Homo-oligomer: A and B are copies of this chain.
Amino acid sequence: MKKINIGLIGFGNIGSGVIKILRNKKSFLTKKTGLNINIKKICDQDIISKRNVGVDKRLLTRDPKEILEDPQIDILVELIGGIHPAKEFISEALKNGKNVVTANKALLALHGQELFTEAIDKGKNIYFEASVGAGIPIIKSLREGLVANKFKSILGIVNGTSNYILSSMSKNGRTFNEALKEAKKKGFAEKNPALDIEGMDSAHKLILLTYLCFGRLVNMKDVFVEGISRISLADVDYAKELGFEIKLLAIAQKEGEDLEVRVHPTLIPKSHLLASVDGIFNAIYVESDLAGDLLFYGPGAGQLSAASAVVSDIVELTQDIKAGLFRPMMNIVRDKTVKRLRKIDESFSRYYIRFTALDKPGVLARISGILAKFCISIASVTQKEKNRTEFVPIVMLIHEAKEKDLRAALSMIDRLDAIKEKSVAIRMEEV
């Protein structure tokens, strides 16, 4: 049985999970696949700290060259994350004739074009199942299982931290800050959680999902990104009263010949499956032309969950290498019916809006007057009883409006004397 050698760079959380699986399940995997996957080298800056898996010390090195320049290593598994030096490592590995497995969504989202092109030039593949949705086999499903499909949209809850916070606000009545603190305590949020809660991590993953569904690797600047840090408990509660949950959604959606690519907090009806996705769970909802509407759900984080996906990529590549199979297009093709990316200003959406107004006659008339001027039509209004403060919240759901018009209207409304806080507007999605 031909041995396929892998070299791992990045012996951190996911990395040690991968080693654990490949070691503990070696005979299981060999029996299942007929493959012999051998860990030849493990590289990390820190080769001293104890991991939760034992390895032969001779496998460890601090020098990435021992992997990148070893002609016997067939597959580089890159799990250090971040842009540099991960990019250089992958590039070097491809140059030296290795296939690559990575979980590095930020790197592929920002420099994927360059790396994928390099890979194709060298006749090698970069696999990245663990970069979106951890152990959920969403990338394989889009690339292979749904190979015959064209897509209308993909909507994902793809950041476990944000979803944990929003769930905790909705289920346990926590404020944003309380929920964030709780998430940190449980290890579900980084010390600096900005990448997660400001939506950047979701945007990176969305860029990859958009690439898989529509064949375009869009630039980060073309993705509208709004995080959850300004979502208040009040809004979560009002949304619930109206029959909605607020979720941070990553959305790529065809509208005629346009494609919208955006990440933002979104009201979704409680009856929709995505509304029931709680805690650190992720879910990706896909609208396809043949297979219909599909949902893929599972834990969005976790050492073994992500490692499960990395190992499935390693198995796949090992099989391909043995058979001499190279998948140049990785089943990705540009959807030519998409002519352009739609700017957020030009996009249409329904909205949930909360105004904070003085409790005086005529305020509602002035607000609705301004909305009418911009042809924005109100679907429902609830004026809440004021509690403790002298201001009353006015909660509105509006029919579909152009983002630009809505922003202009809100900016005019916010200048009214009777309005006491910047108004809150959250998009609604009708899936």
Say which one of A84-92, A240-248, A319-327, A416-424 lies at the interface with B. A319-327
List which A292-312 residues lie within 8 A (CB) of chain B. 292-299, 302, 304-305, 307-309, 311-312
Query: For the complex, is A135 an interface residue (Cβ under 8 Å from B)?
Result: yes
Of A180-188, A217-225, A329-337, A345-353, the one contacting chain B is: A329-337
From known contacts A291-B134, A298-B295, A328-B34, infer whether A311 and B140 are also in contact, taking CB-CB under 8 Å.
no
From B271, B289, B292, B305, A291 is in contact (CB under 8 Å) with B305
Task: Tell me which residues across on chain B come within 8 A of A21, comparing CB atoms.
Answer: 148, 290
Judged by a CB distance under 8 angstroms, whether A117 is at the interface is: no
- Considering only residues 133-150 of chain A, those with a C-beta below 8 Å from chain B are 134-137, 140-141, 144-150
Chain B: CB-nearest residue to A139 = B145
Which of chain B's residues has its CB closest to A135's CB?
B291
Indicate if the CB atoms of A28 and B137 lie closer than 8 Å: no
In the complex, per-residue mask of A14-39: 1 if CB is within 8 Å of any chain B CB, else 0: 00000001000100110111100000
Complex CA gap A138/B283 in Å reads 15
Closest chain B residue to A296, Cβ basis? B296
Q: Is A72 an interface residue (CB 8 A)?
A: no
Contact of A325 among B25, B31, B323 (CB under 8 A): B323
Number of identical protomers: 2
A295–B292 contact, CB under 8 A? no
Among A136, A148, A295, A298, which residue has the most Cβ atoms of chain B within 10 A?
A148
Pair B325/A145 contact, Cβ less than 8 Å: no
Task: Specify which chain B residues have a CB less than 8 angstroms from the CB of A297 in the assembled complex.
Answer: 273, 294-297
Give A283's nearest chain B residue, CB to CB.
B295
Whole-angstrom distance between the alpha carbons of A21 and B146 in the complex? 12
Measured between beta carbons, the chain B residues less than 8 angstroms from A148 are 21, 25, 29, 307-308, 311-312, 315
A201 within 8 Å of B (CB atoms): no
- Bound-complex Cα distance A235 to B117 (A): 60
Query: How close is A398's CB to chain B, nearest CB, in angstroms?
Result: 27
Residues of B within 8 A of A196 (CB): none
Specify which of A315, A320, A323 lies most central, judged by the most chain B CB atoms within 10 Å of its CB: A323
Question: Smallest distance from the beta carbon of A208 to chain B beta carbons, Å?
Answer: 16
Return A308 CB to nearest CB of chain B, in Å: 4
Residues from chain B with a CB closer than 8 A to the CB of A319 are 325, 327
**A129 contacts partner chain B, Cβ-Cβ < 8 Å:** yes
How far is A324 from B324 in the complex, measured between Cα atoms in Å?
9
Q: B residues within 8 A CB of A283?
A: 295
Contact B290 A307 (CB under 8 A): yes
Least Cβ distance of A1 to chain B in Å?
12
Closest residue of B by beta carbon distance from A302: B292
Q: Are A290 and B135 in contact (CB under 8 A)?
A: yes
What are the residues of chain B within 8 A of A311 when measuring CB–CB?
147-148
Judge whether A257 is part of the interface by a CB distance below 8 angstroms.
no
Contacts of A137 in B (CB 8 A): 137, 140-141, 144-146
User: Is A298 a contact partner of B294 (Cβ separation < 8 A)?
Assistant: yes
Known contacts A144-B316, A276-B273, A323-B325: does B32 contact A136 (CB below 8 Å)? no
Q: Which residues of B lie under 8 Å from residue A295 when comparing CB positions?
A: 283, 295-298
The interface residues of chain B lying within 8 Å CB-to-CB of A129 are 145
A315–B147 CA distance with the chains assembled, in angstroms: 8
> Distance in Å from the Cβ of A129 to the closest Cβ of chain B?
7
Using an 8 Å CB-CB cutoff, how does the interface string of A56-98 with B read, 1 for contact, 0 for none? 0000000000000000000000000000000000000000000
List 25 contacting pairs A-B, 8 Å CB cutoff, sorted by A: A21-B148, A21-B290, A28-B150, A28-B333, A33-B147, A34-B328, A134-B291, A135-B288, A135-B290, A137-B137, A137-B146, A140-B141, A140-B144, A141-B141, A145-B309, A147-B315, A148-B308, A290-B307, A290-B308, A291-B299, A291-B309, A292-B299, A293-B298, A295-B295, A325-B325
Instruction: Give A residues with C-beta under 8 Å from B.
Output: 21, 25, 28-29, 31-34, 129, 134-137, 140-141, 144-150, 271, 273, 276, 283, 288-299, 302, 304-305, 307-309, 311-312, 315-316, 319-320, 322-325, 327-329, 331-333
